[in-house]
Amino acid sequence: MEITAPADAAVVHHGSVEVRGLVHPRRARVLVLGRPVHVARGEFRAVVPLRVGANLIDVGASARGAAPSWNALRVTREALVTLPDLIGATRDDAIAQLDALGLRSEVQEEGDLLDELLGGDWIVCATRPPAGNELPRGAGVHLTAAKAC
């Protein structure tokens, strides 16, 4: 048995993955996660649902007169989050929103001594990447903040 996709230790962003492979003899019986899978001309494929985080997918093949073959794939589903529009939010509110989404904040405060002496909140003037981008949890977001944008 040869598993052709996905690669072991693959990282994906979707809720499922298609497991594909080849078996010999061509009429071998294949199980993916303990369920029979259709085999045609020695090729098999099965769509496997994934939960967020690490997933272990076992694949087995057997045929009359041949030793059974087993393999296991590790597939990690990484959840993506959409970066909200933080422009105009206070620095502290923006950091709290990013923390709640599982994103790291990297803040660059721009201004001069007068800005330090003046009261008021630091306001987010720009983000990198911009709002709307999809990021994996744990990714960093650069915030540029100032007293006035």
With the CA atoms of 83, 84, 90 and 93 taken in that order, what torsion angle do they form, in degrees rounded to the nearest 10? -80
| Distance, CA of 146 to CA of 149 (rounded, Å) | 6
| Distance, CA of 42 to CA of 39 (rounded, Å) | 6
| Distance, CA of 75 to CA of 84 (rounded, Å) | 28
Q: Over its length of 149 residues, how does the chain's per-residue pLDDT go in tens digits? A: 999 999 999 999 999 999 999 999 988 999 999 999 999 999 999 999 999 999 999 999 999 988 999 999 999 999 899 999 999 999 999 999 999 999 999 999 987 777 777 778 999 999 999 999 999 988 999 999 998 88
Query: Would the pTM of this model clear 0.85, i.e. be above it?
Result: no
- Count CB-CB contacts under 10 A for residue 23: 22
Phi, psi dihedral angles at 114 (to 5 degrees): -60, -40
